[in-house]
Every structure is written in structure tokens, then in C-alpha cells.
Structure 1
Amino acid sequence: MKNEDSPSKKQIFLEKLSQLEQFTEEEQKQKIEEMNEIMDGMSEKEFDSVFTKELFNKLDKIIEEKKLSMGNAISLMKHIGSCKVLLNSWIFGLFNSLLYRRFEKMIIDEEQKKEGKNEKLLIDLCECYLLLSGIFFPELLSICMPCLLKVALKKEGNEETQKDVEIALLALSRVDNYFKMEPKLFLNEIKEIIQYHQEHQNLTRLAYQSAWQFLIKRFHRDKSLEGVVVNELHFVREAVRELDELSKSVDWKRKEERKKETEEALVIRRWLSVIFYFFASCKPRDGEFVGLLSSIVQIFLASRENSEVISCQCIDTLKKATEVRVAMVDDLLKSGAVDVALEIIVQLATSNELIHGSVEFFWSVCERLKNINEKKNFEAKREKVKRKIFEKLEEEGYEDCIIGLHYLKIINWLSFSFFMKNIEEYFICC
């Protein structure tokens, strides 16, 4: 049992940080390794409470006073950035900090050097900038992108190179989809990285996922990349394989309270985000997404007892595929997605967020069934799907489901009468 008087991870981390300037450069290196280990054990809430504008300004001050070497500062900042990305934290305090401005200036100054350019320093600065920042500027992206793609193209299989490549790709995966880029700036390089891994398995799981995340975000802005994503690089096949293998690596049966997910669970979450973007971007493909939808359903079934975050992501991703009509209703039925949504709706002890998502999913499916243009010659299948859904509702307790939803008031943001009217309209003639 934890002693209530024992210091928290936050307190230990901040105490070590306050002592850094007292040590030599070599001693600082050891202390930073200890601080990095503490960060690795932090929950998202703990992490967000530590990294404030004041903390980054303090770091900038001891760098300015040469009480912390730039090499040690970068080592610390890069680890903060990696944890930030994997925890899906924002660290709002960095953007307006003095340290952020220092990094921006150093990147531009190093890039503009005619002689004596420090390539290693530039790479480190670019990685810190992309990992830590929430807002990117085109001038800095034009420096960071080619710099980090060059690192990510390294093919040596040793552990040190793999780690370098992983950090570079993790940083690149942060470049958001609202940046539209000419394919000539990245496409050949990212294709080579993905295809080489498919043949030689040289990347870590996180690095491979990050490469796809970078590309799918570009696809979200440029639909001309669909042929490359789907046909050349086989995104659907790769996503299914990665999800299935990652799922086998997670101990889903662990019952104890976990403040921090395993790396495999974090990578699963990142894959689900990528698939969400993919569904939002690609054209409908009849029957081609059943395997991918089935993998998401299996992840949901495995995670629903112990990871509400992942199970909610699964439902949101299935909902996206339904809303944007990227998968046929028949595919949703074959994959088990419809069954999962209905099971959630009748399990009234389930979290509100899951039920909200499932109601929206079910509503979208019903709207699709009403649409005569959903699919050519689909009428017979449509009636079959309606019958299956209605039978499932009957089996689970149709009236209890609706009354329960009304009682919990979890759909108060919808019109209850409209929801009821639509359900009766869809199934009255079954």
C-alpha cells in the first residue's frame, strides 16, 4: 500500500530538475536519465501538471546561464516530447515559452550557416520542435521535413539506428493534416521507408505506425494519394496485420488499475487514429474493408473490460466508416460491427460515451438502410439486414433498451421522439 506521505512522481521530478544546475555535465547526464525514467511512469494527468510555461522558462534560463549543456537539454526535451506524443498530451505551456523561441531561432540559424553546419544538432532541434510543438510554421517545417526524412531513410538494423529512425518518424507523425504539401517533398522517401520495412522488417512497431500516420495525414489533404496508399502500399492489409499482432501482445485480462498503458496499447490507439483518418479520406470500396472492420471489432471485444479509451476509439472509428459511407452496410454486418453497437446499447451499465457512439452508429446504419441509393440492387439485402437488426433488438430486449436509454437520459442531446420514430419506421414492417 502506498504511503500517503511519500513524494509523488511530480515532486520527485521537479526536485531533480531544481538540482540539475548543481552538477557537472556528466553528472547531469545521469540525473536526466533518472528524470526520463520518472517521466516514463507518469500518467497523462501527472505529465500535464508538470510541464508548464514556467518550467520551460526555467529550463531556458539555466541553458542561457550555461548551467545546463545544450546536449543534456536536448536529451531531456526529446524525451519530454516522446512522452507527450505517446500520452497524446498537448503541453500548452511550451508555445509561449522562452525555450520555444530559443529552439526556433537555433533551427533557423543552424540551417542558414554556410560553413560549419552541425547536422546532428539540427536533427535534434528539429525533433524537439516537432515532438513538443502544437503549432508549426511553414518556414520551420521546410527545414525539419527533409532533415528528418533523411534520418528515417537509414536502413541499418542495429538498435541505435532503429531508435534514431523511430524518433524521427514519431516527430514527423506530428505534422498535422491541415498542412498540404506537394508529394515531391515526401512521397518517394516515405514510400521507400514503408516498402523497405514490408520486405525487411527493419522498423520498430511504433516507427512503422508513425510512417503510416505521416502519410495518411497527407492523404487526408490530397486524395490523389489514394492509389499509393491502398494499391501500392496496401494500407488495409498492413493495418489488419499490425492490429492483430499488437492485440496478441497486450494482456487484456489484467484487472488492476493501470495509470499508464503499455507501449503496445498506445500503438494500437495510434493505429485506430490513423484508420479514422483513412476512413474519412478514401472512396467507398465494396467488400474491401470487411477485414479491417473485423479487426476493429476484435480489438473492441478484447479491450472493453479494461480499456475504455481504446473501446471508445473503436466505436468512433466504426462510426466514421458508417457516416462517410466508406463501407457498405453489408460489410458492417459481416464484420460484426452492428452486433457490437447493439450489445453496447442494451448494456446500460456501459459508459455514456460508448453508448453515445453506439447510438450514433446505429442511427447512421438506419439512415443508410433508408437510402434507396445506398447500393444498386440492395433491396433484398437491406431487408435481410433490417430483419437481423430487429431480431437482435428483440433478443436483447427492445423495449428495455429504449426505456433504459430514456431513463438514463444519455441521448438528451438527440430528440428522443425523433429517435423512437426512426426506429419504428425502420422496423415496423419487418
Structure 2
Amino acid sequence: MSACTSDKPQIGLQDISPTTKFLKLFDELENCREDEQMQKILEMNGLIDEMDEEEFISVFTKELYDNIDEMIEEKKLLMVNAILLLKHVGYCKMLKMNALYSFGDSLLSKRMREMIIDENEKKKDEKDERLMIDLCECYLTLGYDFSYELHSICIPCLLNAASNKEENEETQNETEMALLALSKAFIEQELNLNEIKEIIQHHQVHRNLTQLAYQSAWLFLMNRFLYENVEEVITNELHLAREAARELEELTRCVNWKKKDEEKRGKKEKEEILLKRWLDLIDNYIFSYKLWNEEFVQLISSLVKVFKASRDNYKEIEFNYLHLLYISAEKKTVKIEDLLKEGAIDLCSEEMKQSTLNNGVAFDCLNFFLNVSRRLKGKKDDDKEEAKRKAIKRKIFEKMEEEGCEDIMTAFMKFCLVWQIS
């Protein structure tokens, strides 16, 4: 009889929740042989994938992490198996939510922190590089508060792992995990810029990263150098707008926009998570940096497509990110005719006509039109530019009038907008 066999009556596992199944298997781990223990953890990792955010929070508590620490201490759980479980927990935590603090307060967190420091202090020929990478990935993805010492150890280690250019599925998965962990890293120092640039540029040529790995590389770059003078690198050398537009368009085609309400409350699709991560990154850039180029025109077009696709079934995307358009309308490098051509003006006017208009959406749309009006206000000295300005104003005015946007027109006047066609 297997050491894992229980004398308790078996219940129909297909009828119970992923959390109950997970906890049942977790309770059995300490009585298993190494190979059986690993098999159970692989099964547990599959159950983690099925959990929604609420279930995930209920399972991964400080108490559970402390239990894992005790099992490791008593040699009832092998470290290699613990890492197999914890890496998957960290991966799913990053995708399901980021504000879970239970690991950072646990004894397991302290153990892993000490292990990282101890391993780092070993001589080069004594270090276990694979263990070091695994520990750093677990610690960063599971934790929330990192010291400079831990960052200074983990970042070079994970960047080295992420720089592996071998083209196979195993390397892709390892690179994805390393970059996902790095996306949590943040130190206000211009270190490792060349390494992350090389990873991004190599992918742009060879497409060797997964979508999540590539987005994570960008997030690490943005977080890491938020206060450094890297706008030129991000915007003109690495082409953020071009790359973000391409990723958004691909994800927009892949997301299941027709999911039912009850499905949306459950686990989120990876494409939906990636889409929101890209929107967060774009939001971060727009609020933190000033430099724009002509490639942002395509990004605006992609944002409009996302908002239109999400309008009926994922309204929260539009609620949370529509402000990206009104901020875009502030930028002098974004031409008003491009906003018109790429559908931004149509989208905002359509939203203003909705009978169930959300206050936040109304605010964003009004600000969008306010910025458009400010940009079109005032005569141009050059006759050709002045004629162009008048033509654009007239075209926008006529479009709104045709669509019956009287409320928008009233709002324009209320906000001191000048819409005289002269």
C-alpha cells in the first residue's frame, strides 16, 4: 500500500472545490515519498490554475506558508518540491493579483531570504545557480517588500537567466518566470539598462519571448528607470508605442469578449490579464514621461479598438483606461486630424450618447473634447495651417451635429469651449 493512501472514506473529488482539493492534497504531502510528493504538487499546481482571486487569497495565508516552512525544517518536504509548488504559486499570484502580503510576514519568507544571502556568499564554484534562480523567483513573485540587499542579489541573477537565447519551450518558460519576477523589482538606480535593452531588442528581431515575458521585460524597464533619463531609449530606441500597439491588437483578437457575466467573475484568461498589464504600462508611461513620437498615432488606433471591443462585455476596461485618450489629446505631438482619423473622436462622442453613461466615462470624454478644443483654439499665422485648422474644426462640429450630440455641445459651452466656425 502506498504511503500516501488514506484510510478515510474517499469522497467524489469532482464534486468539491479546487481549494478543498488543494488543501486535502497539501495535508497528504508530508506522508509521501519524494516521487509521490512531486506528483501531488503537480496536481496541486493544476488546482491553483482553477482558483479565482477570492479562492486564491483564502488558501495562501501566512499559516499555510508557515506550515510549508515547518515541513521543510522537519525534512518532511524536500526543498526541490517546495520550490516546484512555490514558483507556481508566485506565477499565479502575479497573474491573479499583486496585493497579497501573507508570504512577506511568514517564516518561509525569512528562510528564503536567508538562503538567498547564504548562497550568494558562497564561492563561485560552490554556488548552485539553478537553486539561486529558483529562490530569487519565488522570493520576488511571492513577496511585496524587498531590501536593497535582496534586490542587488536577485536582479543580476534573474537578468542573467532571462538572457538565455536558446530557442526551446523549456528555455522560454524559464525566461518568462525570470522576467515576471523582475517586473516586481524597483530600485532608483540606472543599473542593468544595457542588459534589459538587449533582451527587448533581441526579441524584437527574433520573437523568442512569450507575450507575458516580453510585457514583463518592459515593465521591469519602466519600473526600474522611472526616475532616470531614459525617455529617448524607451520611446525612440526601443519603440514603446509601436510595440505596445502591436501587442494590444494581437491580444484584442485573442480575448474572448463574449464571456458571460458569471464566467468573468471566475478566473481570468491569460490574454485578458496581459491586455490589462499592457494598458497599465501605457498608463504609467503617459503619466510619467513627456516624450511622444509619431508611433503613438498607431497606439491610439489600437486603444480605440480595445475600447470598442470591450464596450459590451468588459466595460471595466473602458472605465479604467478611457482617460488615456484625453491625455493623448493634450500632447502636441498627437495631431488632431489623427485623433479624428483613428476613431478617437467617434468613440468619445458615441460614449457621451449612452443613456447609462458612467460618471467617470463622462468626465474622461468631456476632458477629451476640452483638450481637442484647446488645441484647435487660436488662429494660425500660416494661411495653409489656418485653413487646415478651420477644416478640422468644421468636420468635428458637423460630425457631432449629425450624431445628435446636443448634450456634448452644451457641455462644451459650459466648460468655456469655443466652437465658432469662422
Flag whether TM exceeds 0.5 (same fold).
Answer: yes
Q: Which residue of 1 aligns with 2:7?
A: none
Contact 1:220/1:277 (8 A) holds in 2: no
CA contact (8 A) 1:280 1:324 kept: no
Q: Does 1:343 align with 2:353?
A: no
Q: Percent identity?
A: 48
Distance change in 2, residues 1:6/1:391 (3 Å): farther
Please tell me the residue identity of whatever aligns with 1:307.
Answer: Y
Aligned to 1:48: 57
Q: Which of residues 19, 36, 44 is equivalent to 1:35?
A: 44
1:120 aligned partner:
130
Which residue identity is paired with 2:245? Answer: V
Whether the aligned pair in 2 keeps the contact of 1:229 and 1:235 (CA below 8 Å) is yes
Partners in 2 of 1:73 and 1:251 — Cα distance? Answer: 34
Q: Please, which of 333, 339, 361 is the counterpart of residue 340 of structure 2?
A: 333
Match of residue 188 from structure 2: 180
Return the alpha-carbon distance in structure 2 between the equivalents of residues 266 and 377 of structure 1: 46
Q: Deviations over 1:124-183 (max 9, x none)?
A: 11111111122221110000010000001101111111111110011111224xx3122x
Once residues 372 and 215 of structure 1 are traced to their aligned partners in structure 2, the CA distance between those partners, rounded to angstroms, is 41
Q: Kindly report the root-mean-square deviation, in angstroms, between the aligned alpha carbons of the 2 structures.
A: 3.1
Partner of 2:169: 159
Question: Pairwise mapping of residues 258-269 of structure 1 onto structure 2 (< 5 A)?
Answer: 258=263, 259-269=266-276
Distance 2:362 2:22 in 1: 39
User: Alpha carbons of 1:181 and 1:33: their partners in 2 closer, same or farther (altered >3 Å)?
Assistant: same
- Residues 342, 393 of structure 1: 8 Å contact kept: yes
Aligned residue number for residue 191 of structure 1 = 197
Residue 321, structure 1, aligned to residue 331, structure 2: no
Equivalent residue number for residue 409 of structure 1 = none
Counterpart-to-counterpart distance in 1, 2:209 and 2:86: 23
Does 267-276 or 250-259 show the bigger shift?
250-259
Counterpart code for 1:299: V
Structure 2 match to 1:238: 243
Equivalent residues, number: 406
TM-score (norm 1): 0.83
TM-score normalised per structure 2: 0.85
Letter in 2 for 1:211: A
**Higher alpha-carbon deviation: 313-322 or 271-280:** 313-322
Q: What's the counterpart of residue 410 of structure 1?
A: none
Residue type matched to 1:84 in 2? K
Q: 1:10 to 1:283 in 2, by over 3 A?
A: same
Point out where structure 1 has 5 or more consecutive residues left out of the alignment: 404-418
Alignment of 1:218-297 (within 5 A): 218-223=224-229, 225-255=230-260, 257-258=262-263, 259-285=266-292, 287-297=294-304
Q: Which residue of structure 2 aligns with residue 200 of structure 1?
A: 206
Q: Is the 8 A contact 1:219 1:226 kept in 2?
A: no
* Higher Rg of the two aligned structures: 2
Cα 1:131–1:393 change in 2 (3 A) is same
Query: What's the CA shift for 1:368?
Result: 4.9
| Equivalent-residue separation in structure 1 for 2:293 and 2:235 (angstroms) | 14
Compared CA separation, residues 119 and 400, structure 1 to 2 (3 A): same
CA contact (8 A) 2:251 2:271 kept: yes
In 1, the alpha carbon distance for the partners of 2:175 and 2:130 equals 13
Larger displacement relative to structure 2 (80-89 or 362-371):
362-371
- Which residue number corresponds to residue 95 of structure 1? 104
Checking the alignment, whether the CA contact within 8 Å between 1:319 and 1:360 is kept in structure 2 is yes
Measure the CA separation in 2 of the matches of 1:81 and 1:150: 20
Matched, 1:149 2:159: yes
Kept in 2, the 8 Å contact 1:95–1:134? The answer is yes
Distance (Å, rounded) in 2 between the aligned partners of 1:360 and 1:20: 57
**Structure 1 residues 87-134: Cα deviation after superposition (integer angstroms, max 9, x where no partner):** 233112222222222221111111112362221111111111111122
Equivalent residue, structure 1, for 2:81? 72
Shift of 1:295: 0.8
5+ long unaligned stretches in structure 2? 1-11
For residues 38 and 56 of structure 2, what CA distance do their matches in structure 1 show? Answer: 21
| Aligned residue identity for 1:23 | C
Between stretches 118-127 and 386-395, larger displacement belongs to 386-395
